[in-house]
Amino acid sequence: MAARLFAAIRFRDRKKKREQQERTSSAEGGGRTTGRRTSPNQQSPSPQGAQTQPSPAPTTGRAPKKDFIANVYHEDVVEHAMDEQKKGDGDSKSTVVTTSDNRAMWAQNLILKKPIRALAKEFAANKKIKPSDYTTEAYEKNDAKNRYNDIICIDATRVVLKDRPPEDDYIHASWMSMPDGQKYICTQGPLLEYVGDFWHMITSESSKVIVMLCNFNEGKHEKCCLYLPKEKKEVGNFGGFAVAVKASKPDPFENIKHTELEVKYGEGKTFTVHHLAYFEWPDHTAPLNPGPTVGMLKLSRTLAAKHPITVHCSAGIGRSATFVAIDYAAQKIRENANASMVDVIRDMRNQRYQAIQSAIQYVYLHICVLEIFAGDGAIPRDSKFNEYMESYVSMIKRYNKKVEAKQREREKNEEK
């Protein structure tokens, strides 16, 4: 099982850390960041009604918006991680197995012919892909409703808020369609001033599942305003929508929180929605273990029962779009073993501009698709599969160390 593989890797790492600490003790003689919209210390009222919260919102008020893309991923860090990865890649070969299953054929080609570093280079060569023709009229007219200055929402696929006049029907959210007809809504983390728009979208589109892929705050910066109560006995009023915890479900997967919410609005209307939160997916990078992400994807589809699934992080283009792309890519590959992941990027960006931000997220997309196919029983978790997964984990760890160092340096500079 994949969980056993990653548990073994974590155990090995902890053991090495303990041994290092013991050696250090003996030698001593026994003796990100991204743009932000709001500041934690500022407050301002919401234009759509007061918000009574059981717990204080992580941040309120307003500060000048900053760009998001500028710090999305560090190319020099990726290149360094890839160079280190190349040193560790061996030239071992595996017996080619003939199969008619598109999933197995694709996985075999990936594992044998595309090492992790090759995927990162493939993304770098195609990172500027964008729609050939698009307009952003609504986005430009609603600057206050955009969390970041440089994250565009195109007109063709934007979610138009129902039962609203044209001058008030905008939210930074995009429709994304799967080959099998499943609909996703990719959106930015809700803003406190317009949190009512978020809940209006959820209820009017009958989106039965919300997938949250960020924390409310990450480091010193707000990524998403508080839009649901944290305790079962509390009720929050978010822009005219009374949201209560109907049930706290057992964690379905490692680090995944499942809460069932009841939303009351309008004249006696009630709507139930499942909230799945994954707080351990770092911004601009990716988790070590694909298991929780894949499990949450499958669970969200089951709970949605063919209704739209709303996915958000902070900007709604990195973690969120990668999550949606996993489903899209897996379906495309089931239909065609030669399905191109570059085409997946293109298709995703035609629906959500700037979707899939970094090489690391592009690599993780492949890893999650492999995990789906292994879970389906279409490919074996053999030595080559495990080597490929371990190669990914090794690269991510090196990358994360470099990114964390850069983030600490940047935060120090911001304090000056």
- Which residues are part of the catalytic machinery? 313
User: Residue 173 pairs with which residues in a beta bridge?
Assistant: 187
Largest CA distance in the chain: 74
Residue 158: Cβ within 10 Å count: 21
Residue 54 to residue 72: CA distance in whole angstroms: 33
Question: What is the residue whose two structure tokens read 């090492």?
Answer: 115
Residue 380 to residue 384: CA distance in whole angstroms: 9
Cβ pair 362, 356 in contact under 8 A: yes
Residue 33 to residue 186: CA distance in whole angstroms: 21
Amino acid at 260: E
Residue 80: Cβ within 10 Å count: 14
Residue 60: closest CA among 191, 228, 189:
191
**Torsion-angle region of residue 309: left (phi > 0), alpha (psi -120 to 50) or beta?**
beta
Helical packing angle, 102-113 and 383-415, nearest 10°: 60
> With b meaning 16 or more CB within 10 Å and e meaning fewer, what string describes 374-405?
bbeebbebeebbeebbebbbbbbebbbebbee
Residue 202 to residue 207: CA distance in whole angstroms: 5
Distances (CA, A) of 298 to 228, 324, 376: 23, 11, 11
Structure tokens at 60: 């309120």
